[in-house]
């Protein structure tokens, strides 16, 4: 069942949990997310980061698959464009049936980020879709240096949210995208401050590599959407390496795809359970 980001986050809010947002780059990834969500009877977000993953598959090809499987799912599924950084890309996703988009103007000035995000919201509103935006900088894969200067200021976030009318805010409070070089130092006060001043769900990017206890602290402070991809892809890759070691003789591509899906389902189910935040 297709659902918007705004509505799926209302479900998260009512249960003091976070919705898992899994990036996908293949049919196997889509199937794994849907299977895990249905097995756990939990809403989920299917998302595609075109800026990062278009080298693997086009937005048009994977987008149609995402929307089709989300529509027939037994649980609510939001189909979301992750890190959209131009209006053409956002329009293409909305035309495909995405129920939510993210506009990422985090590298722009505050004034330009606000202006662009407001226009992105107009586009989303035309399709009845939701919008997430970003303020602050999460950094990129392999980085875990001190980026305090790029952390989201809750007071600035209040201005940003009031001006743009977004449904969720991706904030910087100590996470990075990709593999962590050392244990992340999370600033939970930023999350609490944003929730207090802005009153909208906070989104965690760079969710792979965070401890279960830190996930739960973030959720308790007001995080309602957590992006998770890198470690799921890494664990599936590790499983293929083990599979090759264990096999005597030929390795077939279809066996590899089945193993990838099986391993991802396992990872996604474990992740969904953590994000449910039921063990206080």
Give catalytic residues, as residue numbers. Answer: 82
Q: Is 162 known as a binding-site position?
A: no
Q: Is 205 known as a binding-site position?
A: yes
Q: Is 144 known as a binding-site position?
A: no
Cα four-point dihedral sign 34, 35, 36, 40? positive
Q: Is 212 known as a binding-site position?
A: no
Helices 188-198 and 154-164, axial angle in degrees (round to 10):
40
Q: Is 228 known as a binding-site position?
A: yes
Phi, psi (rounded to 5 degrees) for 173: -145, 20
Phi, psi (rounded to 5 degrees) for 77: -135, 125
- In a 10 Å sphere around its CB, with 0-12 CB exposed, 13-18 middle and 19+ buried, how is residue 244 labelled? exposed
Q: Is 254 known as a binding-site position?
A: no
Q: Is 134 known as a binding-site position?
A: yes
C-alpha 80/C-alpha 129 separation (Å) is 9
Q: Is 107 known as a binding-site position?
A: no
Q: Is 104 known as a binding-site position?
A: yes
Q: Is 56 known as a binding-site position?
A: no
Q: Is 53 known as a binding-site position?
A: no
Residue 183, CB-side half-sphere exposure with 13 Å CA sphere: 5
Annotated binding site for dihydroxyacetone phosphate: 178, 206-208, 227-230
Annotated binding site for Zn(2+): 83, 104, 134, 177, 205
Annotated binding site: 83, 104, 134, 177-178, 205-208, 227-230
């Amino acid at each position: 069942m297709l659902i918007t980001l705004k509505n799926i986050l209302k479900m998260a809010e009512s249960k003091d949990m976070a919705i898992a947002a899994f990036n996908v780059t293949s049919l196997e990834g889509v199937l794994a997310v849907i299977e895990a969500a249905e097995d756990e009877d939990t809403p989920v977000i299917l998302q595609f980061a075109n800026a990062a993953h278009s080298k693997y598959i086009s937005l048009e090809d994977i987008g149609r698959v995402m929307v089709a499987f989300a529509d027939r799912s037994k649980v609510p599924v939001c189909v979301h464009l992750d890190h959209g950084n131009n209006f053409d890309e956002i329009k293409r996703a909305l035309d495909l049936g995405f129920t939510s988009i993210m506009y990422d103007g985090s590298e722009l000035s505050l004034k330009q980020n606000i202006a662009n995000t407001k226009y992105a919201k107009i586009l989303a509103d035309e399709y009845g879709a939701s919008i997430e935006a970003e303020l602050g900088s999460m950094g990129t894969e392999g980085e875990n240096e001190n980026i305090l200067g790029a952390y989201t200021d809750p007071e600035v976030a209040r201005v940003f949210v009031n001006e743009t009318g977004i449904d969720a805010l991706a904030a910087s409070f100590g996470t990075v995208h990709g593999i962590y070089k050392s244990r992340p130092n999370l600033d939970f006060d930023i999350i609490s401050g944003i929730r207090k001043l802005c009153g909208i769900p906070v989104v965690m990017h760079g969710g792979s590599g965070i401890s279960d206890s830190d996930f739960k602290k973030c959720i308790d402070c007001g995080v309602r959407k957590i992006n998770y991809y890198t470690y799921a892809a890494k664990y599936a890759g590790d499983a293929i390496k083990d599979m090759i070691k264990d096999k005597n003789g030929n390795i077939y591509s279809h066996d590899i795809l089945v193993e990838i899906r099986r391993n991802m389902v396992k990872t996604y189910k474990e992740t969904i359970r953590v994000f449910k935040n039921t063990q206080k």
